[in-house]
Every structure is written in C-alpha cells, then in structure tokens.
C-alpha cells in the first residue's frame, strides 16, 4: 500500500487509473448485460392460466385492459397467441418502459415460469401461434444455405444482409438479430411484433423458419475479413476510413514534416 | 543553389514584399541533439537499424504465417490466416518506411536549402526565332492558297473521333427494343407464387399484417430457356403482397379482401422496395428513403420517387389460390424516355 501511495504523483498515474476504471466499468457492464434466455416448451394447465390471469391483472391490465380487450394505446391481446407473449415478455419489450417510437429489448422483467403462465393465459383468450418446441428452433437441425436464400428475400431489406439491423422511419428501427435467442426469432416471424410484418406458416413453413435460424446462427462465427465494423454498411466503413485511416495519414505527414529534435 | 546564410535570398524576397513588411527570412538553424551529442546520434542509428530489423522480422513472419496458418475451410482459420499475414506485412512495410524517414530526419544533414525558380518567360531572341520558324512553315505549306488541301485536312480530323465514338455509343445497351420494358410476365390467370420457395398462395392463408414476396407462375429455372431470361424477367415481375384490415384500405380496386399486390421495383431508380412497416402501412425503399402508402394505392408520401408503385390487380381462382387478373396497368420501375404513351 505504501509503495502505491508513494507513486501516486507519478507521471503515469492518471493513465493507470483510467485504464483500471475502464476495466471495472467494462466488467460491471458485461456482468449485467449477460442474460439467459432459453427456448422452453410450454405445457399449459388450468393452474398456469389462473396464475397467468393474476399476473396479467397486476402487470399488464393497466394498458391492455382487465380482459386483454385493448385500450387506446395498447392493442387487444385476444388471439395474438402464446408466441406473441413469449416474444414480447422474454425479450423484455413488454412491459414497456416508456412511450417511445418502439418498445426496445431490455432485460426481461418476468422469469421463465411467469412468462409461461402469462402466455398460457393469453393463449386461453383466443387461438394464435404457439410457442415453438426446442426441436423447431434447433439451429443444428436447419439448413443454413436454404436459410440464407430465405433471409435474403424476406428479412435482409430491414435487418440488413448481415442481420445487423437497420433504420426505419420516425425513430423506429429493425434491431440486430445476431444475438437473438432462436425461440424469439421464431416467435417474431410467427407474430410480426410492432413494425415487423407477419410471416405465418404458409409464407415460411416451420422448417423454413428453422433454416433461417440456422443461417443466423452460422453468422455468429464472425466475418472472415476480421473486424466487421458493426456490419452496418458504408456509413460505418466510411467513418473508419475518414477518421482512423485519414487520421493516421495526417499524423504520418505531420511527423515527416516536423523537425527532428 | 545557395544556402540560407547567403544574403541574396533575403534581398530577392524583400523587393517583392509590400511596404512596411520585412521578410524575417529563415529561422536560425537549430542543431539537433544528434548533431552535438555523439551518444544521441548513435541512438538514432540504433533506432533506424532496429526498425529495419523489424521489417526483416515482418517479412520472415509473413513467410512463416503463409505455411503455418493456411486459410483452411472455417471462418476462424481464415481470420487467423488473414491476421498473421496482415500483421507481418504491416511490420515489413512500416519498418522500412519509418526507418527511412527516421534516418533522413535524425541522421542526414538538416540544413535548409533554397533553390531559386528560374523565370518561365523565354528570352526575347528565342521568342522571335520561334515566331519566325512558324511563319516560314506556314508560308512553305501554302495553306492559305491550297484550299483543297485545307478542306481535306479539316475533314480528316473531323472524322477521326468517329471510329472510337461509334462502337462506344452502339454498345450502350446493345438493344434498343424498349417495348419489353412495358410488359412483364404477368397475364390474366397467372398464379402468384412465393419467392424463392415457388409455392402457390391460398388467399385464406394470408393473415392480416402478412407480407409475401411474390413471383409469377412460370418464373422458374425449369420453365425458362436461360438463367439470363430468368433474371431479366424476375427483375421486372417481382411483387410484394400485403394483407391489411379491409377497413384500412382507401381503394379496394384490384385488391382481394384486403390483400393488395404492388410492384417491388421503385419508381425512382428501381431498387427493390420491401421495407414494410406493418403498423403504419408504409413501404420504404432502402436506397433513397422513398416511402409509399400501401393503404392508399402505394402513393408516394415521402422521398424522391415521383409516381406510385404500379399495382398488380388480383383475385382468386376456383381453388382459392391468388391469381393476377391482368399485367400491371403501367410500365414498372423508373422512368425512361419512351415511357410517355
């Protein structure tokens, strides 16, 4: 301790402190940002529906209405199906945090059990898409090549060819799908949350949805070229070229032109 | 050439400066550390040698990496190969570059030198001689009186660009048949098929809020003579099918119970328009942000596009599958000169 105290006025002390602070911040963020979300098979029972009804009344009814009939700013949930509840609640989009252009993903507010019960309750109100089984969303069982062709036609215009997402209008955007849990990808396609259109089982069969999940999973290895710069296209790449690339060139020019000491 | 301590340079500049401004001349020469301290000079030498050594290591590294890390099949092995090859190349080039610059800056002599620019104007004798030569040549050729030769030369020079320009212009497009831009593969009774899975679409299966990417029946590799015609036809015939709540539709013409089909080719410059926002019924073009309102006949609500997307009129056949009732009512895609009817 004494040795450290003696060196606190050292020329490089601020640099060391800054690096330490950054490391601590990064570590804390990483610890909080990790979320665990696993695809689960939903088995409904009357108990679940009853428990879900209570959860709904306590957490959702203020906007969606006591019987999920919908209000001015919140849609009716009759017939949206368990898949919709799974997607919205397991990705933390619902309950909504603030009245924003779109509900953003955040750490889920309900555990797996409560999500399942809410889904069971909403599913009991009217028929809708169900939560897929683990088998239906297993990337290992899909064909990534077929998934790529389907992704390019159906998904890439909004989520970008890389899956990194892109902008829509008025502050809305298509989020990145690269780190989305497979069951959430499946339920998003099946229900069409927010601005996203619906891709039902006629448009994309369950097997085709699994192919798309396999394609997205195959992107996790990264790009062979190395740094992908966010994969958002020419904007990110141009920024690097101008700021980093040209900055280095200017620094070299200044160095070459400066007099040697 | 003269060095900065000769007075000639200062005098020359002062004569051209506005009054009251005195040319400060070059700053006094400051010796570098290496000029006075042999130790520092030795250190600079060692740094340069080390940079060149780094370049040597980089070159050897590239050769080692080439054999040690073949690109292989997996993404991670390609990443590894690229990274080590790249690092080696960076060191082998940067080592030479930085070493050479450091050598020039810290070891080579750093006395500023002034090189005067000589006047650009030739001497009066040279100019007069040149004019004389030109006049002699013109008189000798007799261009003023031999009008046939003059005409021949001008004609020959005028025709000279044609052998280059004609093939260039002729090859633009190579095909002046514009009538094919007016029609697509869609006919009365053509079934709507999903792209790329090529399945017919039952109207009852299209739920509200759905989007289906559609190609015409017959647009399939097995049914067309070549891949080229497949791409040509697909580029014109692609359609985006959307189902809205029927109450949201402003015109029901050409629609079937809330199902509407529009050309996917933007009327601005022909990008595929397919970013559909389910809640606002807006369709966005990814290239220049043209926005079309699907609920209102795909008319333009924002962006550089000038015309609504052409609508494909649809209905269902006896089996309940969606079919077209006609081709698009107008040419699809961006404007072209002959588009005006």
Residues A97 and A177 both lie in one domain: no
Asked if the model's pLDDT at residue B13 lies above 70, the reply is: no
Taken in order of first residue, the domains within chain B and their CATH numbers are 2-114 (no CATH), 182-339 (2.102.10.10)
Asked if the model's pLDDT at residue B193 lies above 90, the reply is: yes
Which residues in A lie closer than 8 A to residue B101 (C-beta atoms)? Answer: 255-256
Per-residue pLDDT tens over the stretch B223-245: 888 888 888 899 999 999 999 99
Least confident residue range of A14-23, B194-203, B270-279, B314-323: A14-23
Average confidence (pLDDT) over B39-67: 95
Instruction: Say which residue, B63 or B183, is predicted with more confidence.
Output: B63
Average confidence (pLDDT) over B99-124: 89
Per-residue pLDDT tens over the stretch A116-142: 999 999 999 988 889 999 899 999 999
Residue B166 Ramachandran class (φ > 0 left, ψ -120 to 50 alpha, else beta): alpha
Q: For an interface test with B, give the residue of A73, A80, A144, A202 to mutate (most B CBs within 10 A).
A: A202
Q: Tell me the pLDDT band of B126, cut-offs 50, 70 and 90.
A: very high
Residues linked to residue A93 through DSSP beta bridges, in sequence order: none
Residues A58 and A101 both lie in one domain: yes
State residue A37's pLDDT score. Answer: 39
Q: Tell me the pLDDT band of B143, cut-offs 50, 70 and 90.
A: confident
CB-nearest partner of B75 from A154, A221, A261: A221
Q: Tell me the pLDDT band of B61, cut-offs 50, 70 and 90.
A: very high
Q: Which of B239, B149, B133, B245 is nearest to B191 (CA)?
A: B239
**A153 vs B: CB within 8 A:** yes
State residue B6's pLDDT score. Answer: 45
Asked if the model's pLDDT at residue B247 lies above 60, the reply is: yes
CB–CB contact A195 B280 (8 Å): yes
Q: Measure CA A100 to chain center.
A: 17
Residues A146 and A124 both lie in one domain: no
Quick one: closest CA in A to B205, which residue? Answer: A202
Distance CA A32, CA B258 (A): 46
State residue A16's pLDDT score. Answer: 75
State residue A41's pLDDT score. Answer: 43
Residues A188 and A211 both lie in one domain: yes
Instruction: Say which residue, B18 or B164, is predicted with more confidence.
Output: B164
State residue B103's pLDDT score. Answer: 94
Instruction: Say which residue, A74 or A145, is predicted with more confidence.
Output: A145
CB–CB contact A150 B197 (8 Å): yes
Number of separate domains in chain A: 2
Residues linked to residue B202 through DSSP beta bridges, in sequence order: B321
Distance CA A217, CA A212 (A): 9
Instruction: Say which residue, B133 or B340, is predicted with more confidence.
Output: B133
Percent of chain A with pLDDT over 70: 90
Asked if the model's pLDDT at residue A40 lies above 70, the reply is: no
Q: Tell me the pLDDT band of B190, cut-offs 50, 70 and 90.
A: very high
**A75 vs B: CB within 8 A:** no
Distance CA A209, CA A191 (A): 13
Residues A108 and A174 both lie in one domain: no
Q: Tell me the pLDDT band of B10, cut-offs 50, 70 and 90.
A: very low
| Numbered residues of chain B with Cβ closer than 8 Å to any chain A Cβ | 30, 32-34, 74-76, 78-79, 82-83, 86, 101, 105-106, 110, 194-197, 201-202, 205-213, 242, 272, 274-280, 282, 284, 286, 291, 302
- ipTM for the complex? 0.73
Report cis status (omega within 30 of 0) of the bond before A95.
yes
State residue A35's pLDDT score. Answer: 40
Residues A91 and A170 both lie in one domain: no
Residue A31 placed within a domain: no
Residue A166 placed within a domain: yes
β-strand B192-194 against B113-114: which pairing, if any? unpaired
State residue A141's pLDDT score. Answer: 92
State residue B102's pLDDT score. Answer: 94
Sign of CA dihedral A210, A156, A150, B304: positive
Based on the number of CB atoms within 10 Å of its own CB, is B17 exposed (0-12), middle (13-18) or buried (19 or more)?
A: exposed
Residue A28 placed within a domain: no
Q: What is the DSSP letter of A224?
A: T
Residue A59 placed within a domain: yes
Q: Tell me the pLDDT band of B58, cut-offs 50, 70 and 90.
A: very high
Q: Is there a contact between A155 and A84 (Cβ–Cβ < 8 Å)?
A: no
Averaged confidence pLDDT in chain B: 88
State residue B60's pLDDT score. Answer: 97
Q: Which single residue is written with the structure tokens 């039902």?
A: A200
Q: What is the DSSP letter of A226?
A: S
Q: Quickly list H helices, chain A.
A: 2-6, 13-33, 46-59, 61-64, 81-90, 112-125, 144-154, 156-159, 182-191, 206-218, 234-239, 246-257
Q: Tell me the pLDDT band of B177, cut-offs 50, 70 and 90.
A: confident
Residue A190 placed within a domain: yes
Tokens linked to A118: 């809410």
Distance CA A129, CA A203 (A): 14
Average confidence (pLDDT) over A76-86: 91
Residue A165 placed within a domain: yes
Q: Tell me the pLDDT band of A43, cut-offs 50, 70 and 90.
A: low
For B82, other C-beta atoms within 10 Å of its C-beta total 16
Domain residue limits at A204: 133-220
Give phi and psi for A111, each to the nearest 5: -75, 175
Average confidence (pLDDT) over B48-58: 97
For position A179, which CATH number holds?
A: 1.10.760.10
Per-residue pLDDT tens over the stretch A171-212: 899 999 998 999 999 999 999 998 999 999 989 999 999 999
Residues A108 and A152 both lie in one domain: no
Asked if the model's pLDDT at residue A32 lies above 60, the reply is: no
Which residues in A lie closer than 8 A to residue B74 (C-beta atoms)? Answer: 221
Which residues in A lie closer than 8 A to residue B110 (C-beta atoms)? Answer: 259-260
Residue A23 placed within a domain: no
Q: Tell me the pLDDT band of B4, cut-offs 50, 70 and 90.
A: very low
Residues A48 and A118 both lie in one domain: yes
Residue A184 placed within a domain: yes
Distance CA A119, CA A113 (A): 10
**Extended strands (E) in chain B:** 2-3, 113-114, 192-194, 211-216, 239-243, 259-263, 275-277, 282-284, 291-293, 299-302, 314-316, 322-324
Distance CA B42, CA B127 (A): 56
Average confidence (pLDDT) over B304-313: 93
Q: Which of B244, B296, B249, B303 is nearest to B271 (CA)?
A: B303
């Amino acid at each position: 301790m004494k040795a450290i105290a003696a060196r606190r006025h050292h020329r490089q002390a601020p640099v060391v402190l800054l690096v330490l602070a950054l490391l601590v911040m990064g570590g804390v963020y990483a610890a909080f940002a990790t979320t665990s979300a696993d695809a689960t098979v939903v088995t409904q029972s009357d108990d679940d529906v009853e428990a879900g009804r209570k959860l709904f009344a306590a957490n959702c009814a203020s906007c969606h209405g006591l019987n999920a009939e919908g209000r001015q700013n919140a849609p009716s949930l009759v017939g949206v199906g368990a898949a919709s509840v799974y997607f919205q609640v397991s990705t933390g989009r619902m309950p909504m945090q603030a009245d924003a252009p779109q509900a953003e993903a955040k750490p889920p507010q309900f555990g797996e059990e409560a999500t399942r019960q809410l889904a069971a309750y909403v599913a009991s109100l009217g028929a809708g898409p169900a939560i897929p089984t683990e088998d239906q969303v297993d990337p290992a069982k899909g064909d990534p090549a077929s998934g790529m062709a389907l992704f390019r036609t159906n998904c890439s215009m909004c989520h970008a060819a890389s899956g990194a997402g892109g902008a829509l209008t008025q502050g809305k955007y298509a989020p990145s799908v690269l780190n989305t849990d497979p069951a959430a990808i499946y339920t998003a396609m099946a229900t069409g949350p927010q601005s996203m259109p619906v891709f039902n089982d006629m448009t994309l069969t369950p097997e085709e949805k699994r192919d798309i999940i396999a394609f997205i999973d195959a992107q996790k290895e990264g790009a062979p070229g190395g740094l992908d710069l966010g994969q958002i296209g020419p904007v990110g790449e141009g920024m690097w070229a101008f700021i980093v690339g040209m900055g280095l060139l200017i620094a070299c020019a200044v160095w070459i032109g400066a007099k040697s000491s | 050439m003269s060095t900065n301590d000769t007075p000639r340079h200062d005098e020359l500049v002062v004569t051209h400066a506005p009054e009251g401004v005195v040319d400060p001349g070059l700053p006094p020469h400051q010796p570098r550390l290496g000029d006075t301290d042999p130790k520092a000079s030795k250190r600079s030498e060692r740094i340069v040698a080390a940079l060149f050594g780094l370049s040597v290591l980089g070159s050897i590294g590239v050769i080692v990496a080439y054999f040690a890390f073949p690109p292989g099949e997996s993404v991670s092995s390609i990443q590894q190969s690229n990274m080590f090859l790249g690092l080696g190349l960076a060191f082998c080039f940067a080592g030479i570059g930085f070493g050479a610059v450091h050598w020039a800056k810290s070891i080579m002599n750093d006395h500023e030198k002034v090189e005067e620019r000589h006047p650009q104007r030739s001497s009066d004798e040279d100019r007069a001689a040149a004019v004389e030569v030109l006049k002699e040549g013109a008189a000798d050729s007799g261009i003023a009186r031999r009008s046939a030769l003059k005409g021949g030369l001008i004609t020959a020079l005028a025709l000279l660009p044609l052998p280059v320009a004609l093939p260039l212009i002729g090859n633009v497009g190579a095909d002046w048949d514009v009538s094919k831009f007016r029609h697509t593969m869609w006919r009365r009774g053509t079934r709507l098929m999903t792209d790329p899975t090529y399945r017919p679409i039952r109207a009852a299966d299209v739920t509200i809020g759905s989007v289906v990417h559609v190609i015409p029946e017959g647009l399939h590799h097995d049914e067309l003579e070549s891949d080229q015609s497949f791409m040509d036809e697909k580029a014109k015939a692609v359609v985006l099918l959307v189902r809205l709540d029927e109450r949201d539709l402003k015109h029901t013409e050409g629609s079937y119970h809330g199902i509407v089909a529009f050309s996917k080719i933007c009327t601005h410059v022909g990008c595929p328009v397919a970013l559909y926002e389910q809640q606002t019924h807006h369709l966005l073009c990814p290239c220049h942000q043209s926005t079309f309102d699907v609920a209102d006949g795909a008319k333009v609500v924002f962006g550089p596009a000038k015309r609504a997307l052409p609508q494909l009129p649809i209905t269902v056949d006896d089996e309940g599958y969606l079919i077209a009732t006609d081709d698009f009512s107008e040419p699809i895609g961006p404007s072209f000169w002959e588009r005006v009817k």
